[in-house]
Structure 1
Amino acid sequence: MTLVFEPSAPVLAPVSDGRSYPVERLFCIGRNYAAHAREMGKDPTREAPFFFTKWASTVVPTGTAIAYPPETANFHYEAELVIAIAKGGRDIAEADALSHVFGYATGLDMTRRDLQLEARDKGRPWDTGKNVEQSSPLGLIHPVAEVGHPATGRIALTVNGEVKQDADLADLIWSADEVIAYVSRFYELRAGDLIYTGTPAGVGAVVPGDAVVVSVAGLSDCAVTIGEKA
């Protein structure tokens, strides 16, 4: 077979033990902290989680300088705990869900907030607000054997050293096992899938030159700087 052009190289996320984790897809859980749901003008509920998807190519490693994206004047940070899937499956039971996890990492869901809210208010998809180049920075992935399954502990974000987000993983409305089971009802999960579990309250805008650091208890930090406009 002759290819028309060479395909893109796979996205490889660094693992704390020196290996690389090939990224397949991103599933991002929305409004999974009650205080953040309220700051976005929505009432928190456990009726059902919701999620959106992003390209694997949006993942960049900690230490990256992210270009400020075009067509926005309101580029926001969102600190997240990220689940890395090791074993696929469909209709995964909550009781078995954690056995599908390879490990965990800190991450960011960078968002063109003005475009997201405009789309939301018009009942349109969020793609232009969320599925943005370099918008999914990821810290080192720590295998379960190293860190277990973090369900409590501080999750925080600083901008230029100032704390902007500060919460506990225990505040998650839907836990890791619940979101894995839920997403697997709609898609057959595969090894390489990442689930961004949602962000606490305190989201806000950044500008070129800002330094953003996400920390989650027991995991490596995810640190990026905001570059000039693309």
Structure 2
Amino acid sequence: MSKYSRFWEFGRKIICVGRNFRAHAKELGNEVPDDPIIFLKPSTAYVREPNKIRLPPNTNELHHEVELGLVIGKNGSNITEENAMEHVAGYCVALDMTDRDKQTALKKKGLPWSLAKSFDTSCPVGDFLPKEMIRNPEDVRLWLKVNDVMKQDGQTDCMIFSPSKLISFVSGYFTLEEGDLILTGTPSGVGPVSAGDRIEAGVNELSSIKFLIE
């Protein structure tokens, strides 16, 4: 068994990328960024099956966002794009759960998004997929269903910034450490979920997760 099979138990940080799919930026009325938009989640955001995704306090609109997660397997800073994938141990399917109303209100005030993005259970993750199982992370299908209805269905070749570009960019600011997780952005189709809804999401047909909202 790989030492990364329980990366969520020892990884120190979750580094997230916003607006990395043009269609997603468009559906929210956001500009396409010139550089990656980066925010962080604490390790307390992790949740695993059979636990549930909990609605954050005073939320009116919790959104689902399915993403490909990069599990870091080698420490590094100022990593070049050419060497970036050497620092990846594997992958996982992940969700970036977002309190959309709160995020919109915070953005209007010029304030950080932390309360909207980093609450407990805001980062559901699936099983660790060794690097060999995904030969090309730029050719992966990401999909998500709510109550058995397909809501998101996209390909990572539509990313604005590739995984290697993201690793290089992030490592210029934060030293990447073993077990860290980078969420690479979500395709279009994000939308609200409510208590009692069931989310199912996956990476290709390799791995899937199921979570109940409470």
Per the alignment, do residues 19 and 77 of structure 1 end up closer, same or farther by CA in structure 2, a change over 3 Å counting? Answer: closer
**Structure 1: gaps (5+ residues):** 1-14
CA contact (8 A) 1:66 1:224 kept: yes
1:70 is aligned to 2:64: no
**Structure 2: gaps (5+ residues):** none
Counterpart-to-counterpart distance in 1, 2:54 and 2:133? 33
Counterpart-to-counterpart distance in 1, 2:87 and 2:178? 9
In the TM superposition, residue 17 of structure 1 has moved relative to its aligned partner by 9.1
1:20 is aligned to 2:9: no
Counterpart-to-counterpart distance in 1, 2:6 and 2:103? 32
Q: Aligned ranges for residues 94-173 of structure 1 at < 5 Å? A: 94-173=81-160
SS in 2 for 1:20: helix
Choose from 157, 162, 165 the match for 1:178. 165
Per the alignment, do residues 31 and 149 of structure 1 end up closer, same or farther by CA in structure 2, a change over 3 Å counting? Answer: same
1:36 is aligned to 2:7: no
What is the one-letter code of the residue matched to 1:142?
L
1:53 is aligned to 2:51: no
In the TM superposition, residue 67 of structure 1 has moved relative to its aligned partner by 1.9
Per the alignment, do residues 151 and 218 of structure 1 end up closer, same or farther by CA in structure 2, a change over 3 Å counting? Answer: farther
Per-residue Cα deviation, 1:71-110 (whole angstroms, up to 9, x for no partner): 1111111110000000111110000000000100000011
1:202 is matched with 189
RMSD: 1.6
1:8 is matched with none
Identical counterparts, % of pairs: 38
Task: Choose 1 or 2 for highest CA Rg.
Answer: 1
Normalised by the length of structure 1, the TM-score is: 0.88
In the TM superposition, residue 119 of structure 1 has moved relative to its aligned partner by 0.6
In the TM superposition, residue 147 of structure 1 has moved relative to its aligned partner by 2.9
SS in 1 for 2:213: strand
In the TM superposition, residue 216 of structure 1 has moved relative to its aligned partner by 1.3
SS in 2 for 1:205: strand
Aligned residues: 212
CA contact (8 A) 1:16 1:142 kept: no
